[in-house]
Amino acid sequence: MHVDILGPVEAHAAEGKIQVGGPRPRTLLALLALRAGEVVPVDRLIDELYGEDPPADAANALQGQVSRLRRALGVAGLVELHPAGYRLALAPESVDAHRFAALAAAGRQALEQGDPQAAETVLAEALALWRGPALAGTTAAGHAERLERQRQAASHDLIAARIRLHRADVAEIQDLVRQHPLDERLRGFLMQALHQQGRQAEALQAFEDARAVLAEELGTDPSAELRAVHVQLLRGQSQRELPAQLTSFVGRQAELDRIAGLGAARLITLTGPGGAGKTRLALRAADEDAVFVDLAPVREVAAATLQALGLKETVLPPEERLTLALKDRAAQLVLDNCEHVVVQAAALAQHLLSTCPRLRIIATSREALGITGETLCPVPPLDPEQSVTLFVQRARAVNPAFTPDEHTESICRELDGLPLAIELAAARVRTLTTEDISRRLSDRFRLLTKGNRAAAPRHQTLRAVVEWSWDLLTEDERDLAAALATFSGGAALDAVEEVGGHDLEVLEALVDKSLVDAADGRYRMLETIREFCARHKRVDAEHAAHFAALARRAGPELRGRDQVRWLARLSAEHANLLQALTWTTLHAPAEALRLFSDLSWYLYLKGSRNEVEATARTLLDRVPEQVSEDYAILLALADPERVRGVLERLHGPIRQPFVLIAWAMLAGPPEPDAPRTSLQEEVERSTDPWVQGLIAFSNAYTEWTLHGDRAKAVERSREALRRFQDLGERWGAAQVLDVLATLTEDPHEALALTDEALRAVGELGAQEELAELRTRRADRLLDLDQDAAEHDYRTALDLATHAGLATTRALACAGLAEIARRKGDPAEAERLLVAAGQELGFGWMHANAKQHVEAALSELRRGRGA
């Protein structure tokens, strides 16, 4: 069954038209049909059915009307009784008014998206549903007026579509103007339609007629919109103006300045990923009288440009027709969304710029047009401050009480500063907190789905934005994009080629199409694009194999003259290396064990051992217990209390220097009478220059701590320093310089040696050593410059906190406690020393630090007791 109310109210069943009855049953049916499928409250039905004079027992009277309607319809269950009212059990599409509203909305959307042909088809179908005045034969006048306004709006949209198609009916528009003489939009349509038919004088007279009627009837002048049409007619044009923007423009001053500074450039192409705001920027930068050409919904670029200029197609090719129109004009075109018709757009731009010397073009595209004379203006994501400003403005549009908090900036950062993604996220603050939004961004394509309903489909959801770019790729480009999405933090060229399995040409195509950003020799994706592409394919095994090979190759280089360069290379791949560790831990434990070993010295120099602790513990549960160098390293990272037992049974040769460092940190110097282990013998027989330097350094340290022979310790230290400096190895040199600073009796020389050591580890960016040396520098400054010492202790505390170094934190706190004691604040000194003691746990270095802290605390308490 279906119900028609756009005209006389009628009901139709399979057998034919149903006789509904008199005005009241027809009105009741119409009221229920207007909200088909919904419960209409009894009070509303009574008010609208009986008006201001309802019967004494209105509820019973309404029930009687419902009974009569049910009998007329012949299906008792069609009008349902509910506690709150009555419901017509029909789907909305079974009522012509609902079908009309849906079609009218689709037609308007097609019109706004630049597809007048589709708009005309849909709107004509919508208006064909009308059979006369709405709700004829009922008493629902208010609803009839509302429906009539919808009909009028759809009629206007249909005329607008036909004007764009150059087939508007002048007589029809004139008839409508006579019916609605004060409707300025209709007056503008009439002027444009007359102009398109070559009736220029009549078009201009139509404006004068409108001016006279408005002055006489309303005492007003024509609106700005109608005056703009008049100006176009005077110019002999009916071109498409720049779309008015409904929201504020945020940021982009650097890009606007660049465009403004390109005064001589005749083709400026704004490039960038989807959702970056290229269209908004182009509209902001364009001249006021520029012609806007939206290429997103079109297939023929030249034809779309003709339409935008308000020109008819003739027997001439569109390109020649455009040349005739533009060759003597100072004009500007905005060619928007060129990426899916980039070859056509490039050809048309080349032709018009060659034949129309005063023409300038601003194009927007996810890739360059690639023609001579093109100037590119990349449109990057917004910076953090602009991103937050945009989020707050859009959030307050839906929730005026919105206040930014600690999650706002993280949301914008996670969304890569992409304006569209930020706007979609901000729209969710109507129902979600920023904390909820931030937490759900791990599934951003599911979260960010409620955009502007009137926007082009590709801009209504975050997925649609990226899919638009994805669909324009070749198969090879998609395959490489998915492979590149496996990388964390981007990748160097060799990694992309090896893991992705495609040559440079395919990679360059992804850069050209704004899917990949190339900078400083690395190739990166925005996180939003990366997440989308990674859902299509992953190459984790190939990725892990590549970075495992890189780690093996880098190990020896980190102990030689090129260690700074190699440390920088591994630091650039830090996220990828951690990703490889995580993946192999879960899928290839034996490979993970070797990878942890190969990365151990890097992780130590980088000060990143705490970053991998959780992964190391996971791996510890997945590999068998063993006596091996690799297993000892894993224990040092995951369960240091167990590492000494493995080290005591371990045999050489040693491949990884971190084994020796772990031994020193956890076990400490050997006791003089302790039996020598096979590992000690093996290490001392090593011919590796780096190991020899480390042995010389260790012997110098023990010579002093165990035998008190300062001269011998200095001699051996200088030998160790020479070995490390010959290798160009900064870490080892810094350790020896620190020992020499301890051995000297001249405090100024000690400070100079410490500064030299700090410069060496500063070149490496070795966080642990920087923190430890900064603490010892403060110790050496304590009696020379107390304020400078306090500054160094605080710097060391920050560095140690970042690197997760409990012993260094404890010693820095102890130093600050000593300064507090000297300043006469024993309570603060005690608080700092107690906090320092709580930092310490297992291992020789912890034990030494704990002994130092406890001694200072005992002395302080004795002094306070005295």
Which amino acid belongs to residue 28?
L
Burial class of residue 641 (count of CB atoms within 10 Å of its CB; 0-12, 13-18, 19+): exposed
The answer, yes or no, to whether residue 708 has pLDDT greater than 60, is yes
Residue with the larger pLDDT of the pair 598 and 478:
598
| Pair (733, 835) in one structural domain | yes
What percent of the chain lies above the pLDDT cut of 90?
23
User: Which pLDDT band, with edges at 50, 70 and 90, does 581 fall under?
Assistant: very high
Looking at 174-183, 472-481, 655-664, which range is the least confident one? 655-664
| Pair (699, 785) in one structural domain | yes
Got the DSSP string for 577-611?
Answer: HHHHHHHHHHH-HHHHHHHHHHHHHHHHHHT-GGG
The CATH number of residue 286's host domain is: 3.40.50.300
Consecutive H or E run containing 19: none
Could you tell me the residue range of the domain that residue 458 belongs to? Answer: 384-465
SS (H, E, C) 529-580: HHHHHHCCCCCHHHHHHHHHHHHHHHHHHCCCCCHHHHHHHHHHCHHHHHHH
Last residue of a domain, one of 147, 167, 187: 167
Residue 64's nearest CA partner among 47, 84, 79 is: 79
| Pair (720, 576) in one structural domain | no
**Number of domains observed in the structure of the chain:** 6
Task: Tell me the average pLDDT across 494-519.
Answer: 86
Burial class of residue 505 (count of CB atoms within 10 Å of its CB; 0-12, 13-18, 19+): exposed
Q: Other CB atoms closer than 10 Å to residue 441's CB: what's the count? A: 18
Mind listing the pLDDT tens digit for each residue in 157-174?
999 888 888 788 889 999
The answer, yes or no, to whether residue 669 has pLDDT greater than 60, is no
Rounded to an integer, what distance in angstroms lies between the CA atom of residue 533 and that of residue 851?
55
> Given this model, what pLDDT does residue 247 score?
61
> Given this model, what pLDDT does residue 391 score?
87
Are 554 and 566 in contact by the 8 Å Cβ rule? The answer is yes
| Pair (742, 861) in one structural domain | yes
| Pair (492, 606) in one structural domain | no
Does 659 reside within a domain?
no
Q: Which two tokens stand for residue 480?
A: 């490489």
> Given this model, what pLDDT does residue 616 score?
94
Q: Which two tokens stand for residue 303?
A: 């034809």
The answer, yes or no, to whether residue 92 has pLDDT greater than 50, is yes
Mind listing the pLDDT tens digit for each residue in 537-551?
788 999 999 999 999
What percent of the chain lies above the pLDDT cut of 70?
92
The answer, yes or no, to whether residue 460 has pLDDT greater than 60, is no
Does 11 reside within a domain?
yes
Q: Other CB atoms closer than 10 Å to residue 201's CB: what's the count? A: 9
Does 786 reside within a domain?
yes
User: Which pLDDT band, with edges at 50, 70 and 90, does 456 fall under?
Assistant: very low
| Pair (356, 424) in one structural domain | no
pTM: 0.60
Rounded to an integer, what distance in angstroms lies between the CA atom of residue 854 and that of residue 860?
10
Residue with the larger pLDDT of the pair 753 and 65:
753
Which amino acid belongs to residue 823?
K
Are 468 and 274 in contact by the 8 Å Cβ rule? The answer is yes
| Pair (350, 391) in one structural domain | no
Does 239 reside within a domain?
no
Rounded to an integer, what distance in angstroms lies between the CA atom of residue 815 and that of residue 789?
9
Residue with the larger pLDDT of the pair 665 and 728:
728
| Pair (800, 766) in one structural domain | yes
> Given this model, what pLDDT does residue 245 score?
58
Residue at token pair 């129109």: 325
| Pair (768, 831) in one structural domain | yes
CA angle 474, 478, 482 (to 5 degrees): 175
Burial class of residue 599 (count of CB atoms within 10 Å of its CB; 0-12, 13-18, 19+): buried
The CATH number of residue 495's host domain is: 1.10.10
SS (H, E, C) 711-776: HHHHHHHHHHHHHHHHHCCHHHHHHHHHHHHHHCCCHHHHHHHHHHHHHHHHHHCCHHHHHHHHHH
The answer, yes or no, to whether residue 490 has pLDDT greater than 80, is yes
Are 693 and 729 in contact by the 8 Å Cβ rule? The answer is yes
Mind listing the pLDDT tens digit for each residue in 285-325?
888 778 888 887 777 888 888 878 877 666 678 888 888 87
The answer, yes or no, to whether residue 217 has pLDDT greater than 60, is yes
> Given this model, what pLDDT does residue 786 score?
92
Q: Max CA-CA distance within the chain? A: 121
| Pair (686, 797) in one structural domain | yes
The CATH number of residue 757's host domain is: 1.25.40.10
Q: Which two tokens stand for residue 708?
A: 């008190």
Got the DSSP string for 408-468?
Answer: HHHHHHHTTT-HHHHHHHHGGGGTS-HHHHHHHGGGHHHH-----TTS-GGGTSHHHHHHH
Task: Tell me the average pLDDT across 503-523.
Answer: 85
Residue with the larger pLDDT of the pair 22 and 213:
213
Last residue of a domain, one of 330, 359, 378: 378
Consecutive H or E run containing 147: helix 141-164
> Given this model, what pLDDT does residue 453 score?
47
Q: Which two tokens stand for residue 851?
A: 């002994």
Average pLDDT, the chain: 84
Last residue of a domain, one of 439, 465, 491: 465
Are 510 and 481 in contact by the 8 Å Cβ rule? The answer is yes
Residue 724's nearest CA partner among 738, 740, 735 is: 735
The answer, yes or no, to whether residue 762 has pLDDT greater than 50, is yes
Residue at token pair 């980039």: 342
Mind listing the pLDDT tens digit for each residue in 373-431?
999 998 888 888 888 888 888 888 778 888 888 888 888 888 878 887 887 888 788 77
Mind listing the pLDDT tens digit for each residue in 603-647?
988 878 888 999 999 999 999 999 998 999 999 889 888 888 888
Rounded to an integer, what distance in angstroms lies between the CA atom of residue 405 and that of residue 305?
46
Looking at 564-573, 728-737, 857-866, which range is the least confident one? 857-866
Rounded to an integer, what distance in angstroms lies between the CA atom of residue 757 and that of residue 140?
91
> Given this model, what pLDDT does residue 582 score?
94
Does 230 reside within a domain?
no
Residue at token pair 């290379």: 569
Does 226 reside within a domain?
no
| Pair (323, 399) in one structural domain | no
Residue with the larger pLDDT of the pair 635 and 530:
635
Does 236 reside within a domain?
no
Does 674 reside within a domain?
no
Query: Which DSSP symbol is given to 376?
Result: E
Rounded to an integer, what distance in angstroms lies between the CA atom of residue 509 and that of residue 612?
36
Rounded to an integer, what distance in angstroms lies between the CA atom of residue 628 and that of residue 597?
11
- Considering 18-32, 304-318, 752-766, the range whose residues carry the highest mean pLDDT is 752-766
β-bridge partners, 492: 522
> Given this model, what pLDDT does residue 533 score?
82
Are 668 and 698 in contact by the 8 Å Cβ rule? The answer is no
> Given this model, what pLDDT does residue 668 score?
58
> Given this model, what pLDDT does residue 241 score?
57
Residue 811's nearest CA partner among 832, 827, 791 is: 832
Mind listing the pLDDT tens digit for each residue in 792-837?
999 999 988 887 788 888 899 999 999 999 998 988 988 998 888 8
| Pair (721, 758) in one structural domain | yes
> Given this model, what pLDDT does residue 510 score?
87
Rounded to an integer, what distance in angstroms lies between the CA atom of residue 760 and that of residue 770?
10
> Given this model, what pLDDT does residue 454 score?
43
User: Which pLDDT band, with edges at 50, 70 and 90, does 672 fall under?
Assistant: low
> Given this model, what pLDDT does residue 455 score?
47
